[in-house]
Structure 1
Amino acid sequence: MQLIDIGVNLTHPSFAEQREALLTRAYAAGVCQMLLTGTSLEESAHALDLCRQLDASGRRLFSTAGVHPHDASSWNSASVNELKALLKQPQVRAVGECGLDFNRDFSPRPAQEKALEEQLALAVELQMPVFLHERDADERLLAILRDYRDRLPAAVVHCFTGEKRALFAYLDMDLHIGITGWICDERRGSHLHPLVREIPEGRLMLESDSPFLLPRSLRPKPKNGRNEPAFLGEVLREVARHRGESPERLAAHSSACARQFFGLPTLDETEGK
């Protein structure tokens, strides 16, 4: 059984001393390919460097490149060309993480919207899929996306945590949905239990979003409290349970979806271990 983790924050400082060991554990757990998330120009360049350093085969680690809404204040006239140069590298498979965050508002909303629109325009120009972030901003995100969606090859709302209304609106716009360990959180994620069965095959992908969102249902829990790709199987089991399908079936179609979305190579069984 092969799994693809579409969201790993491998540039996070907490992983600095153990990236090789983390990847070894992930591969042993069946997570055969990963997308390393870029959240700023600097972090996107770092994610690309890690792909090159840690995956000599060029078949397991890939990345995204973009500017997160938290960092939208840093977006300026030079950012487009810097980002375009990153997006032209073969390991980089999507524009993002970009989007809107009206929950924390770490950057002013007009700055978030400007950075998002210019990144969507780049995705259209380069014909690349988009890795989207959204918190408390689904209606505004949908309004902006409407102007670009017909010209975009694909887009995924990563770490979906919203309500039924938002999910159905995203699906109606032919977006993909990424599900994380949020669904394993009995305090705030149980509303996702009936919703995940509404996501069609071919539109659903799984992600750890590590080191964040350690699945609360995981046993035993790591002493450091840090999530990592090796724990993606816990998300798989929880999503499969609420979709009423086997983990093997879910792994097969969610990974096939991720492989198509990001244009990843198919691995044979010996490569997947």
Structure 2
Amino acid sequence: MQLIDIGVNLTHPSFAHKEAAVLARAMAAGVCQLVLTGTQVHDSEQALTLCRLLDESATRLFCTAGIHPHDASSWNSDSSARLRALLEQSPVRAVGECGLDFNRDYSPRRQQETVLEEQLALAVELQLPVFLHERDADQRLLQILRDYRDQLPAAVVHCFTGEKRALFAYLDLDLHIGLTGWICDERRGTHLHALAAEIPAGRLMLESDAPFLLPRTLRPKPKDGRNEPAFLPEVLREVALHRGESLEHLAAHTTACARQFFGLPSVIDVPQDSEHRQHG
């Protein structure tokens, strides 16, 4: 059974000097390919470097390159050129993480919108899919996306946490949906239990968003409280439960979806190791 983690923040400081071990545990848990998330230009350059350093076969690690809405205020005249150069590299498979965050408003909303539009234009030009972030901004995000959607090859709303209205609007715009350990959170994620079943096969992908969003249903929990890709099978288990699907069926169609979305090669299956998976 193969899984693909479409969103892992391997450049996060909590993973520093531990990346190879994190990847080994992921592979032992059946997570055969990972897409590292870029959230700033420098961070995206680091993600690309990790792909090349840690995956000599060029079949296991890939990344995105973009500027997160939190960092939209860092956009300058140099950003577009550096981002374009990144997006032309083979391991870089999508534009992002980009989007809108009207929950925390770390960057002014108008600046977020401008930087999103710049990145959508790059995605159209280079014909790359888009890795989207959205918090409390679904209606505005949809307004902006409608101007670009027909020219984009694909787009995924990563770490979807919204309500039914937002989900159906995204699906109507032919977007993909990424689910994380948020669905395992009994405090704030229970609304996703019913919504998970509404996402058609072929539009659903799974992600850890590590080191964030440790699944609260995971037993035993790691002592350091840090999420990692090796725990993606717990997200698989929770999503399968609420979709009424077997683990094998859900793994098969979400993996096929991710492979098609990011243009990833097929890989030879990796052995499962329950001790690595549980204890990390």
- TM-score tier after normalising by the smaller chain length: over 0.9
C-alpha separation in 1, matches of 2:58 and 2:151: 29
Residue of structure 2 in register with 1:56 after alignment:
56
Deviations 1:51-103 (A, max 9, x none): 00000100000000000000000111221111000000000000000000000
C-alpha separation in 2, matches of 1:74 and 1:14: 23
Question: Structure 2 counterpart of 1:121, which letter?
Answer: A
Listed as ranges, the gaps of 5+ residues in structure 2 are: 274-280
1:20 counterpart = 2:20: yes
Residue of structure 2 in register with 1:149 after alignment:
149
Residue of structure 2 in register with 1:202 after alignment:
202
1:167 counterpart = 2:167: yes
Question: Structure 2 counterpart of 1:258, which letter?
Answer: A
Question: Structure 2 counterpart of 1:111, which letter?
Answer: Q
Residue of structure 1 in register with 2:115 after alignment:
115
1:222 counterpart = 2:191: no
User: 2:27·2:270 contact (CA, 8 Å) conserved in 1?
Assistant: no
- TM-score, normalised by the number of residues in structure 1: 0.99
C-alpha separation in 2, matches of 1:21 and 1:272: 16
C-alpha separation in 1, matches of 2:96 and 2:271: 28
Residue of structure 2 in register with 1:268 after alignment:
268
1:231 counterpart = 2:215: no
1:40 counterpart = 2:40: yes
User: 1:70·1:106 contact (CA, 8 Å) conserved in 2?
Assistant: yes
- TM-score, normalised by the number of residues in structure 2: 0.96
1:272 Cα deviation from its structure 2 partner: 9.0
Question: Structure 1 counterpart of 2:221, which letter?
Answer: K
What's the C-alpha RMSD, in Å, of the aligned pairs? 1.1
Listed as ranges, the gaps of 5+ residues in structure 1 are: none
Residue of structure 2 in register with 1:181 after alignment:
181
1:7 counterpart = 2:43: no
C-alpha separation in 1, matches of 2:269 and 2:140: 43
The number of aligned residues is 273
Residue of structure 2 in register with 1:136 after alignment:
136
C-alpha separation in 1, matches of 2:104 and 2:270: 44
1:17 Cα deviation from its structure 2 partner: 2.3
C-alpha separation in 2, matches of 1:74 and 1:54: 29
The ranges of structure 1 where at least 4 consecutive aligned residues each deviate by more than 6 angstroms after the TM superposition are none
Deviations 1:24-67 (A, max 9, x none): 10000000000000000000000000000000100000000000
User: 2:8·2:36 contact (CA, 8 Å) conserved in 1?
Assistant: yes
Residue of structure 2 in register with 1:211 after alignment:
211
